[in-house]
Amino acid sequence: MTAPKAGAWGKMANRIQKSVPMLMILPSLLLAVLIIGYPILDLAWTSSQEVSRFGKLIGFIGWGNFAEVFADPLFWESLSRTGIWTLAVVAGTLVISMPVAMILNDDFYGRGVARVIVMLPWAISLTMTAVVWRWALNGRSGLLNATLMQAGIIDQPIEWLATAGTAFIVEILVGILVSIPFTTTILLGGLSSMPQDAYEAAVVDGATGWHQFRYITLPLMKPFINIAIVLNVIYVFNSLPIIWVMTEGGPANGTDILVTYLYKLAFRFGQLGKAAAISLVMFGVLLIFTILYVALISRNDADDAAPEAEVDDEH
Amino acid sequence: MNTKLRKSIFYWVLLLPLAVVNIFPFAVMFVTAVRPRDELFVYPPTWGFSEFRWENFSEMWVKTNFGGALMNSLYVSITATALALLLAIPSAYAMSRYRFAGKGAYRIFLLMTQMMSPIVLVLGLFRLMMTLGLVNDLNSLVITYAAFNLAFTIWMLQSYFNSIPRDLEEAAWMDGASHLTSLVRIFLPLAVPAMVVTAIFTFINSWNEFVLALTMMRSSNDFTLPVQIYAQVAGRYQVEWHHVMAGTVLATVPVAIVFSWLQRYLIRGMALGAVK
């Protein structure tokens, strides 16, 4: 646009012109601040308040709620279980998704069908998946027991969800299952952008399949693997539906992770102060991972601009 | 045997366990949904059953107030999607067409909101809705779903908007059209397919959401489908699993088909926001 030169009118037109994009983002900004920003402040306030037995805030107690949380053995158990849950699901997902993505990236008969089947769990919500698995794992008549018994693998039905030990393992497996589609998609994105000539050169040099994977695929895939890990950590760390629907953190708090424990404190036991304190702890952890994620994608952006810069960042 | 065939067989053998485990829940869903009630808890457990009882679906519809929950889910998902699009379209346009101070900061801010899960904020959100008098009001879900979907919606639209050539609008300005006219007459019609795809994903996200719906909706008349189905399972001594599975089939299969069909577009939205 050819703006009129100098003069008060020109300046004003210029100012209006400049504020147009601001006005366009303003409505979305306001909603995001109200719904996502404000509750954080409210949690900070709630976490500093003493709470009556009836869930009313009755006065300032500073760090009291945090002290109570840190003195609570159930918090530490849930925290360590959150660590195991997150680590196991993210690692398990990655280990399965990498070969699956490599297969789907190759050309073979029935690839279209294979893609749809691999992505299936993504099409159903976590809540519904968990409801179906809760029934499938029913200790008496569940269809998993039916399958295993009809195949002659077991001769007594197994009470999958009745003890915390097996329930937690099963929940981790379901967690892995539902995380595979998203992870495979990210890895496929990486694989399809891989330069073909690197492989051709390697074949000429006599590199075997494993060497190709170890020295070409894996290093080139590193940015995508990193992003898949960080995003999965964030999603899995926060995920309530699977554990909540299948066992509600039970039996006897044996499968509680931070989110389920927090939810019970807030909405079953009315311990708002403690629940707010745990929310803030989780917010802190999330913030760290989000910053890590922002750093990762901006580094990838920078790498796109200057591919040579990547060499020294391996060391 | 040619090499591609051999490779295909090898790959399918590798994929088989995953395929079986992925299809298993769907099989469980269907087989249970059409089973007669007295064949639910048989011993020893078995896949077989005597007859297809399609009446399970109509019985379930009446007994679990499925229709009511369906209307609630439709209302919330459609309204939240409309609100999210209404706010996201101008934002995405600004992000795509203008340079302005704070653009980078806004991008990071959106990313942060994308990473915040409702569960971490749920107590604060509940207290906010108490203050606004929106607990037990479906509109509390409408505004929260719209807010949590903003980042994704803006990125998705922005990535499409970037692909619409500027020349078209500039040509219109040359012909004397105002910016507003060119926006409404030229740009938006071109962006319709992008908006439809984005809207469908926002709709599905809202349709599937569980934690906030579970928290904000306190009376069973206001339950959305995921909460309604969960309520048939949680804390009940006798669960009518054939009804639960019939409900699950109806609530998920239509959405699952649309999702599978449009899934390749989803990657584009993630591509800009997540994997650059």
Query: Which stretch of A47-51, A89-93, A169-173, A273-277 has the lowest confidence by average pLDDT?
Result: A47-51
For A163-215, what is each residue's pLDDT tens digit? 999 999 999 999 999 999 999 988 988 888 777 777 777 777 777 778 888 88
A246 contacts A174 by C-beta, under 8 angstroms: yes
**pLDDT for residue A2 is more than 50:** no
Q: What is the mean pLDDT of chain B?
A: 88
**pLDDT for residue B86 is more than 90:** yes
Minimal C-alpha gap between B90 and chain A (Å)? 5
List phi, psi (to 5°) of A50: -80, 140
- The residue of chain B with its CA nearest to that of A186 is B275
Average pLDDT over every residue of B34-58: 87
- Contact assignment for B44 to A114 by CB distance below 8 Å: no
Query: Which of A126 and A2 is assigned the larger pLDDT?
Result: A126
* Most confident of the following: A64-68, A306-310, B137-141: B137-141
> Does B26 lie in the same domain as B68?
no
Confidence at B87, pLDDT banded by 50, 70, 90: very high
Average pLDDT over every residue of B27-43: 90
**pLDDT for residue B275 is more than 60:** no
Average pLDDT over every residue of B39-67: 88
List phi, psi (to 5°) of B65: 55, 45
Domain count, chain B: 2
C-alpha to C-alpha distance for B69 and B251, rounded to whole angstroms: 10
C-alpha to C-alpha distance for A102 and B46, rounded to whole angstroms: 37
C-alpha to C-alpha distance for A178 and B202, rounded to whole angstroms: 19
% of residues, chain B, pLDDT over 90: 51
- Contact assignment for B208 to A125 by CB distance below 8 Å: yes
Query: Which of A305 and B78 is assigned the larger pLDDT?
Result: B78
B198 contacts B85 by C-beta, under 8 angstroms: yes
Which of B19, B115, B147 lies nearest to residue A234, judging by beta carbons?
A: B115
Confidence at A56, pLDDT banded by 50, 70, 90: confident
| Domains of chain A, earliest start first | 72-314 (1.10.3720.10)
A125 contacts B226 by C-beta, under 8 angstroms: yes
Minimal C-alpha gap between B43 and chain A (Å)? 7
List phi, psi (to 5°) of A225: -65, -45
A40 to chain B: which residues are within 8 Å by CB?
121, 124
Average pLDDT over every residue of B98-108: 87
Query: Which of B218 and A297 is assigned the larger pLDDT?
Result: B218
For B131-185, what is each residue's pLDDT tens digit? 999 999 999 999 999 999 999 899 888 888 888 888 888 888 888 878 778 888 8
C-alpha to C-alpha distance for A93 and A230, rounded to whole angstroms: 12
Substitution target from B123, B149, B238 for chain A, most A beta carbons within 10 A: B123
> Does B108 lie in the same domain as B162?
yes
* Most confident of the following: A146-150, B160-164, B233-237: A146-150
> Does B130 lie in the same domain as B16?
no
> Does B9 lie in the same domain as B124?
no
Predicted local confidence at residue B265, as pLDDT: 73
B140: left (phi over 0), alpha (psi -120 to 50) or beta: alpha
Predicted local confidence at residue A6, as pLDDT: 53
Give the predicted TM-score (pTM) of the model: 0.88
Predicted local confidence at residue B49, as pLDDT: 87
Substitution target from B120, B211, B243 for chain A, most A beta carbons within 10 A: B120
Range of the domain at B50: 3-55
Three-class secondary structure assignment of chain A: CCCCCCHHHHHHHHHHHHHHHHHHHHHHHHHHHHHHHHHHHHHHHHHCEEECCCCCEEEECCCHHHHHHHCCHHHHHHHHHHHHHHHHHHHHHHHHHHHHHHHHHCCCCCHHHHHHHHHHHHHCCHHHHHHHHHHHCCCCCCHHHHHHHHCCCCCCCCCCCCCHHHHHHHHHHHHHHHHHHHHHHHHHHHHHCCCHHHHHHHHHCCCCHHHHHHHHHHHHHHHHHHHHHHHHHHHHHCCCHHHHHHHCCCCCCCCCCHHHHHHHHHHCCCCHHHHHHHHHHHHHHHHHHHHHHHHHHHHHHHHHHCHHHHHHHHC
> Does B150 lie in the same domain as B22?
no
Predicted local confidence at residue B141, as pLDDT: 96
What is the ipTM, given to two decimal places? 0.89
Q: What is the mean pLDDT of chain A?
A: 86
* Most confident of the following: A3-17, A26-40, A191-205: A26-40
Predicted local confidence at residue A303, as pLDDT: 58
> Does B168 lie in the same domain as B136?
yes
- Contact assignment for A301 to B276 by CB distance below 8 Å: yes
- Contact assignment for B210 to A124 by CB distance below 8 Å: no
> Does B230 lie in the same domain as B249?
yes
**pLDDT for residue A162 is more than 60:** yes
- Contact assignment for B147 to A31 by CB distance below 8 Å: yes
> Does B128 lie in the same domain as B45?
no
Confidence at B119, pLDDT banded by 50, 70, 90: very high
> Does B165 lie in the same domain as B45?
no
Average pLDDT over every residue of B243-270: 82
Minimal C-alpha gap between B104 and chain A (Å)? 11
For B68-81, what is each residue's pLDDT tens digit? 999 999 999 999 99
For A102-112, what is each residue's pLDDT tens digit? 999 988 999 98
**pLDDT for residue A300 is more than 80:** no
- The residue of chain A with its CA nearest to that of B215 is A267
A158 contacts A140 by C-beta, under 8 angstroms: no
Minimal C-alpha gap between B268 and chain A (Å)? 10
Predicted local confidence at residue A309, as pLDDT: 32
> Does B14 lie in the same domain as B143?
no
Work out whether strand A57-60 and strand A49-51 pair parallel, antiparallel, or are unpaired: antiparallel
- Contact assignment for A136 to B28 by CB distance below 8 Å: yes
Predicted local confidence at residue A301, as pLDDT: 64
> Does B36 lie in the same domain as B128?
no
Predicted local confidence at residue A14, as pLDDT: 77
**pLDDT for residue A308 is more than 70:** no
> Does B90 lie in the same domain as B39?
no
B187 contacts B169 by C-beta, under 8 angstroms: yes
CATH number at residue B267: 1.10.3720.10
The angle at the Cα of B161, spanning B155 to B166, to the nearest 5 degrees, equals 145
